[in-house]
Amino acid sequence: MSVASGKQQSGIGSFIDMIRTVFIAVLIALLFRWFAFEPFNIPSGSMIPTLLVGDYLFVSKFSYGYSKYSAPLGFLDAEGRLFGDLPERGDVVVFKTPEDNSTDFIKRVIGLPGDHIQMRGGRLFINGERVERERIEDFAYQEGNRTRFVPQYIETLPNGRRHTIIEVGGDTAPYADDTHEYTVPEGHLFMMGDNRDNSNDSRFSVGYVPVANVLGRAERLFFSLDGASFLEFWKWPFAIRFSRIGDKID
């Protein structure tokens, strides 16, 4: 009887140890996601060529501190940010759209509080100065089964940050390439997509984005699929973009 009882107690102890290990592992994973890095995927082409449909990336939630939208379980109810830091011009960030404060968007920070932003003839102006850009090879832009080669540029922001953009409609796209001058309010940011003629951003319904709505900075790609969803694992051998995995997001 004592031997059987000892084995039973040993089995119960092993089961408890296993439950404890699983609980700790899950807790660590949740804390990592809540406070450090959260995964996101790209469902639309507004950030082409920097980000492609089917890219999966990590967003650092600690880069700019925590707000009521980025903090876990909504434990921050006040406006503003805890350990807050303003994004830099040129950062690619994920944020909650001001329209509903729930939909996640990803765009590039173009305007900081107090900046004057305008598009004139397809060129970006910041505080009255035209942003420099350099024409490079055309980008192979996929539209359904059709491939178009569209103008692609390296744009250099006033702080020296460089990134690529495309102009699918050239420099004369309606509404996107000629705008009035925007003045970014205090506590807000002006966002734009790198696919300048196909991006719903601060020029349109997104409007100015409160700093409190920023979830974090896009850091690095960890996976990328072309023409397949994450759950369609049987398509992975032909769909994975191996060359993009691990790329830093600039």
Which of 187, 191, 214, 215 lies closest to 202 in space, CA to CA?
A: 191
Contact present, 96 and 103 (Cβ < 8 Å)? yes
The answer to whether 221 and 245 have CB atoms below 8 angstroms apart is yes
Length of the chain: 250
Q: Is 117 left (phi over 0), alpha (psi -120 to 50) or beta?
A: beta
* 248 belongs to the catalytic site: no
- What is the C-alpha R_g of the chain? 23
CB-based contact 126:158 (threshold 8 Å):
yes
Helix (H, G, I), strand (E, B) or coil at 55: strand
- Pick the catalytic residue from 46, 67, 70, 224: 46
| Whether 68 is catalytic | no
C-alpha pair distances (Å), 4 with each of 8, 10, 15, 16, 17? 6, 10, 17, 18, 20
Chain-centre distance of CA 141, in angstroms? 21
Active-site residue identified among 61, 68, 107, 224: 107
Task: Give catalytic residues, as residue numbers.
Answer: 46, 107
